[in-house]
Amino acid sequence: MSWLFLLFGVAAEAMSHVALKETNGFTKPLASALVLFGHLAAFVFLSQAMKNMPIGIVHAIWAGLAIITVTLLSTIIYRQHIELSTWFGMAFVAIGVAMINLSQGHGH
């Protein structure tokens, strides 16, 4: 169940970061509320994930997956061009997340 909470935390964080662009400096109430709700939801989900997983592992996976998710969403929603070298960097992040997961065994 901790992994599910972690993934929900990543989704909430990514949603709020992508919506941040739409706030126009927090002058648009709906987008601003979405950002605040997304951050609050992310922390609630992460706190649940941390009940059964080490803080460092949760944070590393959350940060890595959030970076990848926000980058993917920004290319889809805002049509932002991402250089090939950036995608390679994203692949390294994904590999790092996988290595962290594999190094922890099945005890979490």
Which H, E and C letters describe the chain, residue by residue? Answer: CHHHHHHHHHHHHHHHHHHHHHHCCCCCHHHHHHHHHHHHHHHHHHHHHCCCCCHHHHHHHHHHHHHHHHHHHHHHHCCCCCCHHHHHHHHHHHHHHHHHHHHCCCCC
pLDDT attached to residue 68:
86
pLDDT attached to residue 108:
46
| pLDDT exceeds cutoff 70 at 105 | no
pLDDT attached to residue 40:
98
In a domain, 20, yes or no: yes
Q: How far apart are CA 27 and CA 47, in angstroms?
A: 30
In a domain, 81, yes or no: yes
In a domain, 10, yes or no: yes
pLDDT attached to residue 104:
65
What is the domain range of residue 18? 2-103
Pair of tokens at residue 83 = 């250089």
In a domain, 44, yes or no: yes
Question: Contact at 8 Å (CB) between 67 and 8?
Answer: no
Query: pLDDT digits over 19-75, tens only?
Result: 999 999 999 999 999 999 999 999 999 999 999 998 888 888 888 888 889 989 999
In a domain, 108, yes or no: no
In a domain, 42, yes or no: yes
pLDDT attached to residue 92:
87
Q: How many domains does the chain have?
A: 1
In a domain, 74, yes or no: yes
pLDDT attached to residue 70:
92
